[in-house]
Amino acid sequence: MSIITALFRGRLGGFSLDARFDVPARGVTALFGPSGCGKTTVLRCVAGLTRLSDAALRVDGDVWQDGRRRFVPPHRRPVGYVFQEASLFPHLSVTDNLRYGQKRVRGETDRVAFDDVVALLGLARLLDRPTAVLSGGERQRVAIGRALLSQPRLLLMDEPLSALDRASKEDILPYLERLHDTLEIPVLYVSHDIAEVERLADTLVLMEAGRVRAVGPLADLLADPTLPLARLPEAAEVMEAEVVAVDAAYGLSTVAVPGGRLVVPGVAGDPGTRRRLRILAADVSLRRTATAEGESSILNVLPARITGAEPAGNHLMTVFLALGDDGTGAPLLARITRKSWDLLGLAPSQPVYAMIKGVALLDRG
């Protein structure tokens, strides 16, 4: 498998960086952590804008940096860089801003065509406009298009949504998802917004105080009891699902996930469509038996096994689960009261039934 191998170690003023990771050279890898943990510094090191003597970078077999022996300068690294601010040329139209990204790669075979970028990012109606009249979300879409048209082998995105309001973020997120599903260019995506990461990322690099705390598939790290993500108030798990049936009469879809099937709101697509789901820990409750007295409006009750548990504050417990009778399915989190834990006599390795009150169907398909 093609990978990106990175090591960046050294001091920058009063900040110490010691970051190393191996991630797939495909999909979206999110660098996630609190402000000041070194995410942007790592991205600048990958781009060659920040140089440390103790550093190594290999992208899909090509050495871009190896200590003092080899250093490919920034202008020769095939990367597209999208910053927090769009930084477009105000005296140029949208078309001319996009074409600017092609200038340094003239004569090379285009991996990404102009018309494809325009279609993917929904820019057709904006091409003749001056950039000064664009909304924040539109400007950032143009900036992404300009970066793609530089024909990068690696796309770097430094909190590209942080300067946008909520409405603009919701406007641009579907375009980022479309890029993920359409293009083969790997993306390193910096964010401190866990909701963005859950929606976009395949792989997670969790950073803390200049160091890499953990690296791995997003779903695994979200449900790792040794990491802080499961302790967040908005703790959730994401799952990749496949549509297996649609009930148009009730506006529902049935999707298959590892370890079971879920009913989700809306028409999720034709059978075989891949979608991503998000389930909040607070929306999962537990019971010991498959059936319970009385009726319930909850449609999703799945067998699972408890893999661990820990106090979550305010007399709550975070319960770590794996779906399926044998507990080999997708990971899941439940946030229940400590009293419920004690009354049900719950314990690790115990089989239970997860009652899932809400499933968010993310707009990625």
What pLDDT shows up at residue 106?
A: 57
pLDDT at 295 over 80: no
Please say if the pLDDT value at position 364 is more than 70: no
pLDDT band, residue 244 (cuts 50/70/90)? very high
For residue 250, which phi and psi values (nearest 5 degrees)? Answer: -105, 0
What is the reported pTM?
0.92
Q: Would you state the torsion angle of the CA atoms of residues 223, 225, 229, 233, taken in this order, to the nearest 10 degrees? A: 100
SS3 48: coil
Q: Cα-atom radius of gyration of the chain, to the nearest Å?
A: 23
Is the pLDDT at 293 greater than 60? The verdict is: no
pLDDT at 87: 85
* Contact predicate 233/304, CB 8 Å: no
| Strands 260-265 vs 274-280: parallel, antiparallel or unpaired | unpaired
Give yes or no for a contact between 290 and 301, defined as CB atoms under 8 angstroms apart. Answer: yes
DSSP state of 243: E
Residue-wise pLDDT for 249-290, tens only, equals 999 999 999 999 999 998 888 999 999 999 999 999 999 987
**Confidence check: pLDDT of 108 > 70:** no
Residues contacting residue 228 through CB under 8 Å, at least 6 positions apart: none
Query: Above pLDDT 90, what percent of the chain?
Result: 80
CATH 3.40.50.300 domain locations along the chain: 3-230
For residues 8 and 18, give the distance between their C-alpha atoms in angstroms, rounded to a whole number.
6
Look at 87 and 224; give whichever has higher pLDDT. Answer: 224
At 288, the amino acid letter reads: R
CA distance 53 to 8: 8
Q: Where do the H-state alpha helices sit in the chain?
A: 39-47, 94-100, 114-120, 136-148, 166-182, 194-200, 218-222, 338-343
Q: For the residues 11-40, what does the mean pLDDT come to? A: 95
Q: Which CATH number fits domain 236-362: 2.40.50.100, 3.20.20.30, 3.40.50.10090, 3.40.50.800?
A: 2.40.50.100
pLDDT of 169-220, one tens digit each? Answer: 888 999 999 888 888 899 999 999 999 999 999 999 999 999 999 999 999 9
Asked if residue 365 has pLDDT above 60, the reply is no
Task: Decide: 321 and 334 in contact? Cβ < 8 Å.
Answer: yes
Specify the pLDDT at position 320: 97
CATH 2.40.50.100 domain range(s) in the chain: 236-362
Q: Per-residue pLDDT for 323 more than 60? A: yes
Q: Count Cβ atoms below 10 Å from residue 292 Cβ, excluding itself.
A: 13
What average pLDDT does the chain have? 92
* 225 has pLDDT over 70: yes
Range 3-230 has CATH code 3.40.50.300: yes
Residue tagged 């979300």 (tokens): 137
Is pLDDT larger for residue 85 or for residue 49?
A: 49
Residues 6+ positions from 334 with CB-CB distance below 8 Å:
281, 284, 285, 286, 318, 319, 321, 354
**Residue ranges of the alpha helices (H) in 109-239?**
114-120, 136-148, 166-182, 194-200, 218-222
- Would you state the pLDDT for residue 361? 87
Distance CA 43, CA 28 (A): 14
Mean pLDDT computed over 128-150: 93
Kindly state the percentage of the chain with pLDDT values over 70. 96
